[in-house]
Amino acid sequence: MALTHPSGEYPVVVVGSGPGGLQVSYCLSRLGIEHAVLSADDAPGGMFRSLPIFGRLLSWSKPDAPFERGAREYEWFDHNSLLADDPELRGLVPAEMNRDFAVPSRPEMERGLAAFAERADVHVRYGCRWETTRRDEDGSLVLGTSEGEYRCRAAVFALGVTDPWKSDIPGVEDVPHYVETLEPRAYEGRRVLVIGKRNSGFEIADGLLPWARQVVLVSPRPVQTSVIALSSVRVRYMQPLEDAGLGGGTLALDAAIERVERTADGFRIHAHGTTRPGEVELEADAALAATGFATPIRDLGNLGVQTVAQGRIPALTPFWEAVGAPGVYFAGNATQGAPGLRRHGVGASSPAVHGFRYNARVLAEAIAERHFGVVPERATFAPGEVARFLAHELAHGPELWAQKAYLARVVALEEGGAGRDAGVQPLSHFVDAAGPDAVAATIEMNAAGSIYPVVYARRGGAVTEHVLEPEPQHAYHGPGYLAELEGLLRS
């Protein structure tokens, strides 16, 4: 059998076989852009082959929903499947689910992703580790791997944000990371200290509730219950937080840890209270560091790639190109390096599959157009059809619902009220880039959790925003909204 993607020259190289890498490869193929996909793993699925550690995802996939499984509109109700043009390839994760829960188990997710890779013909060279990167004089990128050199015009790194990361607390090196958490029964009868009060810290607390003698969570930042209430991570927090709130044993302490000390039979932590000043000293039989994850960008800093969050996340442009390194793109979870306009403080949904799968499609289109002059064919609208199209997208466009205030449906306006679909674009690109007359429609959410459409109109180079009223049934294709959109398009 011929070797999949042998070393050599390709228009584009994609690194990673998690959901980010698989999605971008599929979308590049649909646009006819030849590329190689490399992965250090030996099967598809990325992080979901081993994590989350307690075996259940946060993100929903509803096997039954207001739309049929093969429909595009169904995507919003299924946050975990990858996108496909062929209805047969859609909704592959719920097809694996046993329906005990509305969120898949880790093995169900892994199987759904593997089914996609197989049935959508995503070919990956497995067992191939990217190790070094350089830029040649002609501008092309050269990726040195365990299996030889790959040369390309554009590279897409879908590396995940999955490398265990620890803050620089003295002594923390002796504390096992979240990914090294043992079987729950190993903590039976023990007092367990968890460093970190975010998602992964609470996942451990939740998983150990039936086993540990006591779970104590410590970090400087208080848990923001009002923020969590509106996010999918709340399923992890609910039980431990209720336990802590009712004094049931679990403790969630706000303290900055000064150092971690090993003792004869466990750990001692020295800390200072933050929301409540004072020294805090804690002893525990076991400790776990739920201190977060990083993107393994290796030597990409040498090409000019910049990072935020203490080197953990690449800083990206709205089209997910590395700030400071043209031609170097990111896909998957790392696309959180472009948070967008953060309207009302709400960033993009790029750290989860349901958000970044759309980034992948927009990215593939951007690469095809910028580097290869390939532009997908899109619909044109007669006068009067533009408002109807936008109204449908506002009510049911999965891109807009999944990537609120980050992705927008753009229609270029032409003479006499006609229009041309300009696809889905990052909203910050639309509001900041000069361009011909056009409108961009998005769904947004404010800090209070209210969801409503916003339309941005660019006329004569100036962009104005029009915030529409929220509606309890989200029926933004209704007659009132249609009339309002028509008015906006006329003005």
Partner 1 sequence: MGNGADTETLGRLALFADLSRPQVEAIAHTFEEEMFPEGQRVLRQGFSGSNLYVILDGEAAVVIDGKERTRLGRGEFFGEASTLLGTAPTADVVATTALRCLVVPASELEGFLMAYPAVAIRMLKEAVRRLATTLQWL
Ligand X SMILES: Cc1cc2nc3c(=O)[nH]c(=O)nc-3n(C[C@H](O)[C@H](O)[C@H](O)COP(=O)(O)OP(=O)(O)OC[C@H]3O[C@@H](n4cnc5c(N)ncnc54)[C@H](O)[C@@H]3O)c2cc1C
Verify binding: residue 254, partner 1, rule CB under 8 A.
yes
Verify binding: residue 308, partner 1, rule CB under 8 A.
yes
Binding-site residue total for partner 1 (CB under 8 A)? 46
Applying CB under 6 A, which of residues 12, 14, 17, 228 lies at the interface with ligand X?
17
Give which of ligand X, partner 1, none residue 317 binds (C-beta under 5 to 8 Å, depending on kind). partner 1
Q: Minimal distance in Å, beta carbon 224 to ligand X?
A: 19
Give which of ligand X, partner 1, none residue 447 binds (C-beta under 5 to 8 Å, depending on kind). partner 1
Specify the residue, 27 or 338, whose C-beta has the smaller distance to partner 1: 338
**Torsion angle of the four alpha carbons 368, 369, 374, 377, in this order, in degrees rounded to the nearest 10:** 110
Applying CB under 8 A, which of residues 43, 102, 309, 418 lies at the interface with partner 1?
309
Give which of partner 1, ligand X, none residue 352 binds (C-beta under 5 to 8 Å, depending on kind). ligand X
Judged by CB under 8 A, which stretch of 60-68, 110-118, 341-349, 481-489 contacts partner 1?
A: 341-349
In 299-455, which ranges are continuous DSSP H helix?
A: 353-372, 385-396, 398-402, 427-432
Verify binding: residue 209, partner 1, rule CB under 8 A.
no
Verify binding: residue 26, ligand X, rule CB under 6 A.
no
Give which of ligand X, partner 1, none residue 48 binds (C-beta under 5 to 8 Å, depending on kind). ligand X
Phi first, then psi, for residue 77 (nearest 5°) are -90, -5
Which residues share a beta bridge with 8?
150
Q: Could you tell me the two tokens for 73?
A: 């509109």
Half-sphere exposure of 371 (CA within 13 A, CB side): 28
Specify the residue, 65 or 271, whose C-beta has the smaller distance to partner 1: 271
Q: Could you tell me the two tokens for 330?
A: 């990111």
Give which of partner 1, ligand X, none residue 17 binds (C-beta under 5 to 8 Å, depending on kind). ligand X
Judged by CB under 6 A, which stretch of 42-50, 220-228, 337-345, 376-384 contacts ligand X?
A: 42-50
Amino acid at 251: L
Applying CB under 6 A, which of residues 5, 12, 21, 122 lies at the interface with ligand X?
21
Verify binding: residue 10, ligand X, rule CB under 6 A.
no
How far is the C-alpha of 22 from the C-alpha of 38, rounded, in Å?
Answer: 11
Verify binding: residue 58, ligand X, rule CB under 6 A.
yes
How far is the C-alpha of 330 from the C-alpha of 111, rounded, in Å?
Answer: 24
Verify binding: residue 232, partner 1, rule CB under 8 A.
no
276: Cβ contacts below 8 Å, ≥ 6 apart: 254
Rounded to whole angstroms, the maximal C-alpha distance in the chain is 81
Applying CB under 8 A, which of residues 132, 225, 275, 302 lies at the interface with partner 1?
275
Rg (CA), the chain: 24
Which residues share a beta bridge with 187?
none
What 82-88 contacts at long range (C-beta under 8 Å, 24+ apart), as own/partner pairs, is 82/19, 82/22, 82/23, 82/26, 82/113, 82/116, 82/120, 82/353, 82/357, 83/23, 83/26, 83/27, 83/357, 83/358, 83/360, 83/361, 84/26, 84/116, 84/120, 85/30, 86/120, 88/119
Specify the residue, 133 or 442, whose C-beta has the smaller distance to ligand X: 133
Verify binding: residue 57, ligand X, rule CB under 6 A.
yes
How far is the C-alpha of 23 from the C-alpha of 233, rounded, in Å?
Answer: 24
Helix (H, G, I), strand (E, B) or coil at 38: strand
Q: Minimal distance in Å, beta carbon 351 to partner 1?
A: 6
Residues of the shown chain interacting with ligand X in the complex, contacts defined by CB under 6 A: 15-21, 38-41, 46-48, 51-52, 57-59, 129-130, 158-162, 200, 293, 296, 332-333, 351-353
* Chain positions contacting partner 1, by CB under 8 A: 161, 167, 198, 219-222, 254-256, 272-275, 277, 292, 306-310, 312-313, 315, 317, 323-324, 336, 339, 341-347, 351, 431-432, 444, 446-448, 464-465, 467
